[in-house]
Amino acid sequence: MSTVGRVLVDGGQTGTRLRIVGGTGAGTESDHESVAIHTDRPVVPQIATAASELIEASGLSAGELAAGVSGLTPEATRPEDLRDAVGALGIRTVALAHDSISAYLAANRFEFGAVVAVGTGVVTLGVGRSGTARVDGWGHLVGDAGSAYWIGRAGLDAALRAYDGRGPATGLEQSAVDEFGALPELYMVLQADPDRVSRTAGFARTVDDLARGGDSVAVAINARAATELADSVHAALVRSGHDAGSGARVSWMGTVLTNNDQIRDRFVELVTHTHPGVTVGEPFGGSLDGVGLLLDVPADHPLSGEVHRA
């Protein structure tokens, strides 16, 4: 077997991305894909399975494993369990954190400020002199405002309102039929689908397409999403010790703000209006880059206490 230094795992609700770092032969890095993390069941065993399958399939051994995981609750944060689950494959050191931490490191590295990580779900993290502050990330049933799921669900809601005559006409109605079938069957189709969260989130792309074409209902959904995300950043900055005029770096991770310029432009406008002292910039790196930095957080940094090691 060849030797590899680290295995990095970015576990999300749409899919899991993995990276091997430090290998020999063809290259020192290689990226891989695995199945989504289901947050309605224990997440640490799912991370262990994804990492184990990659190591076994690649014929590699690893000394370190770092994972940033969506849906990781305080009670479920048990790095010892993860290390024990993969220990037979050579893992000796584990760093485990909520994906808001790895997203922050990817976007801002060790600078103070705030990062909103918005894909299928959304969580915002502020880091400053008062410590860390996590905002939202409460899951699709009660939170995740401004996420792709939130946008997709708002689009389906608008489609059903138009169908019922309770809301304005919108191209979302026909688009929902095209993607899900007859609208009277929609709620049953989604309830029976084990991938209903990612499938609903996928409808956010349709909302974006129609918004770009000028559909007023879709444009309004995007605008509301931008407001929700900016409100979360404001709360995170205030709670972590930044006032409106203080210097801080605000960035983002995830498909919604990366791919949707309508939402991103409005988000930047709202954040800089509320906090004129901040710098809003594109992320320094990708999500797996942030996962890798979990192993390197300085002991005196506010994020150090959010990274759980074993």
Residue 255 sits in a domain whose CATH number is 3.30.420.40
* Token output for 116: 């909103």
41 inside domain: yes
265 with 137, same domain? yes
Range 264-293 average pLDDT: 95
Do 191 and 121 lie in a common domain?
yes
Under the banding of pLDDT at 50, 70 and 90, the label for residue 30 is confident
Domain that holds residue 294: 2-99+287-309
Same domain, 94 and 122: no
Are both 84 and 136 inside the same structural domain?
Answer: no
Residue 270 inside a domain? The answer is yes
Within-domain flag for 7: yes
Say if 104 falls within a structural domain: no
Taking a C-beta distance cutoff of 8 angstroms, is the pair 251, 108 a contact? yes
> Does residue 226 belong to any structural domain of this protein?
yes
- Asked whether residue 240 is assigned to any structural domain, the reply reads yes
Task: Tell me: do 91 and 122 sit in the same domain.
Answer: no
DSSP, collapsed to helix, strand or coil, labels residue 286 as coil
Q: What is the percentage of the chain residues whose pLDDT exceeds 90? A: 62
Q: Give dist(CA 110, CA 184) in Å, integer.
A: 50
| Same domain assignment for residues 252 and 265 | yes
Domain for residue 224, yes or no? yes
pLDDT tops 80 at residue 208: yes
- pTM for the model: 0.84
Question: Based on the domain organization, do 167 and 38 belong to the same domain?
Answer: no
Both 152 and 226 in a single domain?
A: yes
The answer to whether residue 156 is domain-embedded is yes
Whether 168 and 141 share a structural domain: yes
Residues 6+ apart with CB under 8 A from 55: 7, 61, 62, 86, 89, 90
pLDDT at 26: 40
DSSP code of residue 110: T
Given a cut of 70, whether residue 141 has pLDDT beyond it is yes
* pLDDT band of 54, cuts 50, 70, 90: confident
Q: What is the pLDDT of residue 29?
A: 66
Tell me, yes or no, whether 42 and 152 share the same domain: no
Query: Does the pLDDT of residue 27 top 50, yes or no?
Result: no
Question: Is the same domain home to 211 and 301?
Answer: no
Mean pLDDT of the chain: 89
CA atoms lying within 13 Å on the CB side of residue 240? 28
The gap from C-alpha 213 to its chain's centroid, in whole angstroms, comes to 27
Q: Read off the pLDDT of residues 90-106 as tens digits, 9 standing for 90 and up.
A: 788 889 898 889 999 99
Residues 6+ apart with CB under 8 A from 122: 116, 136, 137, 144, 145, 146, 147, 150, 229, 232, 254, 256
Task: Domain count for the chain, please give it.
Answer: 2
Are both 7 and 83 inside the same structural domain? Answer: yes
- Can you tell me the distance from the alpha carbon of 100 to that of 197, in angstroms, rounded to the nearest whole number? 19
Q: For residue 74, which phi and psi values (nearest 5 degrees)?
A: -55, -40
Is the model more confident about 107 or about 44? 107
CATH code assigned at 88: 3.30.420
